[in-house]
Structures are given as structure tokens and as C-alpha cells.
Copies of this chain bind each other. A is one copy, B any other.
Amino acid sequence: MKKLINEPSAVVDEMLDGMVSAHPDELRRLADTNVLVRNDAPVSDKVAVVSGGGSGHEPTHAGYLGPGMLDGAAAGEVFTSPTADEISEMIQACDSGKGVLNVVKNYEGDVMNFETAGELAEMESDVEVAEVVVNDDVAVEDSLYTSGRRGVCGTILVHKVAGAMADRGEELDEVKRVAEKVIDNVATMGTALTSCVTPEKGEPTFDLAEDEIELGIGIHGEPGVERVEMMSADEITERLTEKVFDDLSPSSGAEVLTIVNGMGGTPLSELYVVNRKLQSMMEERDFMTWDAWVGDYMTSLDMQGCSVTVLVLDDELKELLAHPAATPALTVQ
């Protein structure tokens, strides 16, 4: 399998340098770590919002660094949690004295290392640390790397909302409250048409037949709900979205934000075909789409496939989603 890389073991290191060299005024890398932070971190008199996790999900997380979203992003090796030491360095580098919110996707390694890192940062620098764990993937309860549900594309909405609340100058408990409000009201379900290929292994993580897809796939290629024969985009969209609706049970007339997220190897044209069906389902159910995002937000290397995310809104969430953000991967004016 061919990839635009040099040594497989250097991918994360070189990718991070490539990000900083694309955004030298906006981002910097903490010395001897795989942590990127806003260049102006710590931002005085502001709660910091940080995140991180294994690499391979770009633009997650470092693509969301900037005013109105994240202050720091810790990158692990591909599909591997960042170390507690590096996360702790990030927390301390981003804290202005007003505290730090860790936004953690629900994978055992991430949860453990962020927890340890928070304790380290509290001990070493007396940082006030709070944490939320995102578990928006409705496909499976417990999984290869999780107790409970996995955290996937809904995490971006937690970054956006918590980042906006912090940008407004609110206190840590308020920033945490709105992050949890997103987590309580967001659900995601994904599918893979093809496996991803990790740089180190150089071959597919799992096998899918030429006429087969996997519903409920994880963003590391973890098993989903079922393997089914290839279906049309409309049928796939229905299967994904029904499961999301089942979980959220929005009331008729509910306002929602939707995301059709590409897994990394899927052309944008196909994501728009999925969005067409998704929005027609919204109309049929009498839900009001307040905003519809279509693109690659939370990927799985070169996997072909997509996920559907729905967030049920209230006035506070709409205000925070509309709050300006300026990051490499997401701009809200």
C-alpha cells in the first residue's frame, strides 16, 4: 500500500511539523513532545480547553486549535493514546490560572492517561483540571478499546461549544456544563466501505469483501454492528440515521445540527449525496436543520466511508455554535 510518507515511524512527528509550518503564526509545538498549542497559549484570564488522542483522525485534534475552540492538542502515535506526561505538559502550558477542561474521547488509554495527566498537573502546578468524556457513537456498547460507547465525530461539537464558552470568559464549571450538554444531546453512527491502512502495518486493518460494508465501524477499524451487502447511499444513510434518531429521540420540530463526516478516503461529492438523503429524512420527521456540516472532521486515515452525527439544539447551544472560531479546519465568522 502506497502512502505519502517517509519512515512510517516518523509520520506523526513530520505531520506535526508540517502543520506548524503551514500555520507558524497560529500554532507552536511544545519542545520534545507531540503536543501542539495555540501560539498565544496560555491565553490570559481564560479557561483552557484541551484535547488529544491517537493520530490518524486528522484534522482531529490539532486542526481545531485556535480562538473559539482548543488551546492544546496532544497527538499520540497512530491510533495510540498520547502519554500522560505529554498531556500533563500540555495542560500546564495552556493554563492561565483559570483552569483547564480536558475533552477526552472514550477509549481506555485516553481516559486513563488524561486522568493521570490531570493529577500530575494538579500536583506539579496546582492547575484546576476538569474533564468530560465523549461517547457519542451509538453503534456498540463496549468495544475493542472501550467500556461504554466510543467517542467519535461528536467530539468536534464539544470542542466548538466548550471553546466558545471559554472564549466568552466563563468559569471552568460553566465550560464543563455546556460540554456535558453537548455530550447528552449528540449521537453518531458510522460505516466503512474499505478498511484503513496504518503506516506501520502497511496493509488493511481488517478485510471487507468487494460487495460488503460494515455498519457501526469504529474510527480505528474496530468491529461495528453488522456486515451487510453493499447498499445504495440512500439506504446506508437511512440505516445510520435511524440508529441515531433511536438514541436521541428528538421531539417533532426539534432544531438540530447535522454532520456528514468523511472517513478520510471518501470524495466530498459522495458525502453530499449522503447529505441530500439525510436532509430529506429531517424534513420527513419534521426536524429543523439549523446547520449542516459536510466534510472530513474525524477521519480514520484512508478509510472510505462516512458517519452521520446529529446534535439536538437549544438556544444556548446555538449561540455557542455561532460564536466565532478561527482554526485551521473550522472557521465560524
Binding site for B on A (CB under 8 A): 1-6, 11-12, 14-19, 21-23, 55-56, 58-59, 63, 193-194, 210-211, 213, 230, 232-234, 236, 264-276, 279-280, 289, 292-294, 296, 299, 301-302, 304-306, 326, 331, 333
Kindly state the separation between the CA atoms of A210 and B56 in the bound complex, as whole angstroms: 22
Is A265 touching B268 in the complex (CB atoms < 8 A)?
A: no
Chain B residue nearest to A266 in the complex (CB)? B4
Given A272-B22, A326-B333, answer yes or no on A232-B266 (Cβ-Cβ < 8 Å).
no
Contacts of A266 in B (CB 8 A): 4, 302
- Tell me which of B59, B210, B267 contacts A2 (CB under 8 A): B210
Inter-chain pairs besides A4-B233, A15-B272, 4 sampled, C-beta below 8 Å: A2-B194, A4-B193, A267-B299, A267-B301
List 29 A–B pairs whose Cβ atoms lie within 8 Å, in order of A's numbering.
A2-B194, A2-B213, A3-B270, A4-B193, A4-B270, A4-B271, A4-B304, A11-B269, A14-B233, A14-B272, A15-B269, A15-B272, A17-B276, A18-B271, A18-B275, A18-B294, A19-B275, A21-B276, A21-B289, A22-B275, A22-B293, A22-B294, A55-B269, A56-B267, A56-B269, A58-B272, A264-B267, A267-B299, A326-B333
A267:B268 contact, CB within 8 angstroms: no
The 9 A-B pairs with the shortest beta carbon distances in the complex, nearest first, are: A18-B272, A18-B276, A4-B270, A21-B279, A58-B268, A331-B331, A18-B275, A2-B193, A22-B292
- Least CB distance from A88 to B in Å reads 25
**Contact A301 to B269, CB < 8 A, known contacts A22-B292, A274-B18, A276-B14:** yes
Residue of B nearest to A272 (CB): B18
Q: What is the CA–CA distance of A294 and B294 in the complex, to the nearest angstrom?
A: 18
Once the chains are docked, how many angstroms separate the CA of A269 from the CA of B78? 10
B56 near A3 (CB under 8 angstroms)?
no
Find chain B residues with CB under 8 A from A6 CB: 232-234, 273
Contacts of A272 in B (CB 8 A): 14-16, 18-19, 22, 58
Minimal beta-carbon separation of A47 from chain B (angstroms): 24
Let me know if B194 and A5 touch, CB within 8 A.
Answer: no
A63: B residues at CB distance < 8 A? 268
Cα A267 to Cα B302 in complex, Å, equals 6
Complex: A293 Cα to B19 Cα, angstroms? 10
Partner of A5, one of B22, B233, B333: B233
The answer for the CA separation of A35 and B298 in the assembled complex, in Å, is 30
Residue in contact with A273 in the complex, picked from B14, B193, B267, CB distance below 8 Å: B14
Which residues of B sit under 8 angstroms from A294, Cβ to Cβ? 18-19, 22
Q: Which residues from chain B contact A264 at a C-beta distance below 8 Å?
A: 267-268
Question: CA separation between A9 and B2, bound complex, in Å?
Answer: 31
